[in-house]
Amino acid sequence: MTCSLTPSGVGKTSVAAALALSAAQIGRRAIVITIDPARRLADAIGLRHEIGNEPVLVQQIGDGQMWATMLDVGETFDSLVSRYAKDEEQTTKILQNTFYRNVSRSISGTRDYIAAERLLALHADERFDLVIVDTPPTRSALAFVEAPERLARFLEHRLFKLLISSTLTGMKLITGALQPVVRTAGKLVGTAALDDAIAFLRAFAGIEDGFRQRARQSSILLRGPTTSFVLVASARADTLEEAAFFADGLRQNNIAIELVIANRMPPRFGDTAAEVALSHAQDPDGDLWRNLAQLHAEAEQADSQLAGFMLALPSTSCLRVAERSNDIIDLDGITDLATSLLAP
């Protein structure tokens, strides 16, 4: 599994799709999944409305395949409930519970956890031998990496266990020791919402063990030897700063970055061209030379900023991809990007 990460607009989605295509070109069955709610993946590969939770085959190249899918949080959550509920009745009770519907559809932390769950499912899916994850920008990407561990800890927490067991034993505890807490919570969220939450906890009883085990497995998969992290950045001071913040966050999670892809690098026209350009920069009709000299200066600056950034990641390799003249809006654009990734 490969996760492509970091700041906004640097080309994570495009690079993730190009990595999947490159993998297909060398005969692998790769799937790119976007866990960002934005629809950019579908747009980038020119499939405007056709990607959902169910993987679609985008391209077959010999034995290689490129697939794509977008995370549908609600659908994934529901399938998890059906999987761990003890019977139909429990499944229906949970799926119809208002509190569950709100939690599973609207709380952003849920997305992070469910994304990890979905990766686990894709990782086990025999149709694919490589899963490439296109993450949202930095801060959300970190939340995604940390989510399974957080959920597992929450489900193991004494308070959660107490709530589950007290709802099971006919609310005895709730009417006793927890009553003031419940009263305050009721005031805050409304009694109807609280009733829903309690009904949900009741319906949820017994399921949490399956959820906890899956969360632990996701956490292990993200940190395991079959997962690599690819950091996508562009050589601009602000995005490099955010990339450094992200690299640091990963380090705190004991995760190493395998590869940095420096995307959208200013083009270079060779040092000789730059020298000639500089020597003509003062010519009265030397606009084109001045432009070339300016481009050269930008390329130099990008190089030195990138080199500074890479100093903090001494054992990580860096791959440069030049800024293209056009936006990437279809599979041809992705194919070009894939070619630059594979170029020596």
Is 9 one of the binding residues for ligand ATP (CB under 6 A)?
A: yes
Q: In what order do the strands lie in the sheet with 257-265?
A: 56-61, 64-70, 29-34, 130-134, 2-5, 228-234, 257-265, 317-322
- Choose among 333, 324, 268, 332: nearest CA to 301: 268
**From the CB of 180, what's the least distance to ligand ATP, in Å?**
45
Is 13 one of the binding residues for Mg ion (CB under 5 A)?
A: yes
Is the Cβ of residue 10 or residue 277 nearer to ligand ATP in the bound state? 10
- Choose among 110, 122, 344: nearest CA to 226: 122
Residue located via tokens 């995005």: 239
What does the alpha-carbon distance between residue 214 and residue 1 come to, in Å, rounded to a whole number? 17
Burial (Cβ within 10 Å: 0-12, 13-18, ≥19) of residue 335: middle
Is the Cβ of residue 14 or residue 166 nearer to ligand ATP in the bound state? 14
**From the CB of 343, what's the least distance to Mg ion, in Å?**
23
**From the CB of 9, what's the least distance to ligand ATP, in Å?**
5
What does the alpha-carbon distance between residue 246 and residue 264 come to, in Å, rounded to a whole number? 19
The dihedral through the CA atoms of 99, 104, 110, 114 has a sign that is positive
Q: Which residue is nearest to Mg ion (CB)?
A: 13
Is 279 one of the binding residues for ligand ATP (CB under 6 A)?
A: no
Pairing of strands 29-34, 228-234: unpaired
What does the alpha-carbon distance between residue 317 and residue 303 come to, in Å, rounded to a whole number? 15
Is 22 one of the binding residues for ligand ATP (CB under 6 A)?
A: no
Is 328 one of the binding residues for ligand ATP (CB under 6 A)?
A: yes
| Whether 115 contacts 80, CB under 8 Å | no
266 binds, among ligand ATP, Mg ion, none (CB under 5 to 8 A by kind): none
Residues 231-260 that bind Mg ion (CB under 5 A): none
| Whether 13 contacts 146, CB under 8 Å | no
What does the alpha-carbon distance between residue 332 and residue 329 come to, in Å, rounded to a whole number? 8
Q: Convert residues 31-50 into a mask of x (bound to ligand ATP by CB under 6 A) and - (unbound).
A: -----x-x-x----------
Residue from 142, 264, 274, 305 in contact with ligand ATP (CB under 6 A): 264
Residues 38-57 that bind Mg ion (CB under 5 A): 40
137 binds, among Mg ion, ligand ATP, none (CB under 5 to 8 A by kind): ligand ATP
**From the CB of 54, what's the least distance to ligand ATP, in Å?**
22
323 binds, among Mg ion, ligand ATP, none (CB under 5 to 8 A by kind): ligand ATP
Residue from 2, 13, 69, 239 in contact with ligand ATP (CB under 6 A): 13
**Which residue stretch of 8-16, 45-53, 88-96, 304-312 sits at the interface with ligand ATP (rule: CB under 6 A)?**
8-16
Is 332 one of the binding residues for ligand ATP (CB under 6 A)?
A: no
CA 310: distance to chain centroid? Answer: 22
**Which amino acid is it at 83?**
R
Chain residues in the site for Mg ion (CB under 5 A): 12-13, 40
Chain residues in the site for ligand ATP (CB under 6 A): 8-14, 36, 38, 40, 137, 263-264, 321, 323-324, 327-328
